[in-house]
Structure 1
């Protein structure tokens, strides 16, 4: 078998990345759009070439002004996992070490043999290159056409009284239900969205809601209306028999506010193993549109 060359792109040969067709049907920005926005760069884009043909490609993204380091956003492989691992290892050495990898996959990918076979070599290669899987999260999207059963606004939900109440509830909520864009918050601003949502969810379109039973708070939700899409940015409920009721009420209140501000779609990210959270989101009209796996460097 012929040898493989591993190297980064140089200015002027950006089209080499697109010479390998996309392997998965996904709604995502193109490599050209990423270059124009400054997130992608030829020096952080590596290819594996066999006889001059691209058989593997990897692109790390780092938005302008980001406080964190780059993460692997695009990794496609039509050769063996060994070739993919060698590509990542060569790039890791140049980048100063392994970086997180967040592969995006179509919703329901587990049950699609064609998707599984397309992504399997890259996932095996990532582990061989020292990246450890840390779970799966789903992105769900609400649109008016699927929201006929959206919860009505609930009087048990009110606006948060201010930053002190938000921070106090965040401290009490051990495991939030929804953290939308947590990977981006970590990489761009070095923020843990589960513990520091308020510095990330800022701007005039941000609204925080508290579910309560009498004088007792039951949960907290923060929205964002001026990000990539209107979103449920943070949602967490306190343990107890009314947690499901509080979650549904918060989702309904947030949708009412966002739609009132003109949102035509709203997104939310939740862990794939949180069946209770996913059920409440689906009852409100959210539908899965994408899965995202998380790989972290060993020891991270």
Structure 2
């Protein structure tokens, strides 16, 4: 493929969504709602075209209207093309779009990609995933973590309360921040560990709370702290709704109480709260390497529905 035959440009408006959707991906069905809500903008959605053939595309996403791009969550290639040509088209598209959309010298937003479970063992999925990763590696990105995507469905057996803990709502921001700060000590979560290389635990906890938790549209009365018989906090669980699904947004056991299986009690409580709302599903995610948390979800009846690849760039924004 001659690079000079490829034109890179943003979509001109919602009338070009059918063209942008020509490459398949799980998020295609969400594009209309995201555009209507302001979580996406046409100028953040770019295409590489050879004539009327879509050979690559990408899009950034923001959690709320009016905010800067927070994730690169769509990067797709025409997998019928030879790998090197496909990768080259993707690199050119990323570099052109980034120069137009992102501030110079600023760290690009993290890349998230939904991929099939055990994708490395899938003869079709593996080259597709690796080609997308190769595009971003050429621009300076590196793999941060792979995560399991999990789902609980109504009708799944649910453990009865064990009686080991009692539960009460979170008293307020400061109480939850104190517990979140404790939970970051020894965390197995890759994002948490990365945060701790850049900032103190107190700031990392506050950033997570202010950037994400406080914005959930669901009631904060759902948030629970698990209490020991002695009246001490053991951990917490944040059942919530985001803009797409009911979720277990955050769960953690304080370091002094780890190793006693309390994660099962906390997860069961969060699941009960959401199930009591008559939800059609509950979504959750955890790092592939966070084996204790992954096992807790599986014990609670959650099934692995996929994985997620998270890639990041260096702090200086080099690409």
TM-score bracket relative to the smaller structure: 0.7 to 0.9
Alignment of 1:129-168 (within 5 A): 129-145=139-155, 147-148=156-157, 150-155=158-163, 156-160=165-169, 162-163=171-172, 164-168=174-178
| 1:207 equivalent in alignment to 2:222 | yes
Partner residue of 1:101 out of 111, 115, 123: 111
CA shift at 1:242, angstroms? 4.7
Say which SS state the counterpart of residue 121 (structure 1) adopts: helix
* Equivalences, count: 286
Runs of at least 4 residues off by over 4 Å: 175-179, 194-198
| Alignment match, 2:7 | 5
Mark the runs of 5 or more structure 1 residues left unpaired by the alignment: 180-190
Q: TM-score, with normalisation over the residues of structure 2?
A: 0.78
Asked if the contact 2:45–2:57 (Cα under 8 Å) also holds between the matched residues in 1, the reply is: yes
CA distance in 2, matches of 1:178, 1:142: 21
1:224 aligns with 2:240: yes
Mapped partners of 1:194, 1:226: distance in 2: 14
Match of 2:19 among 16, 20, 34: 16
- For normalisation by structure 1, the TM-score amounts to 0.83
Distance 1:64 1:227, change over 3 A: closer
**Structure 1 residues 69 and 272, CA, compared in 2 at 3 Å: closer, same or farther?**
same
Measure the CA separation in 2 of the matches of 1:209 and 1:42.
39
Instruction: Pick the aligned partner of 2:292 from 263, 276, 287.
Output: 276
Mapped to 1, the partners of 2:218 and 2:31 lie a distance apart of 29
SS in 2 for 1:10: coil
Corresponding position of 1:61: 61
Whether contact under 8 Å (1:104, 1:292) holds in the other structure is yes
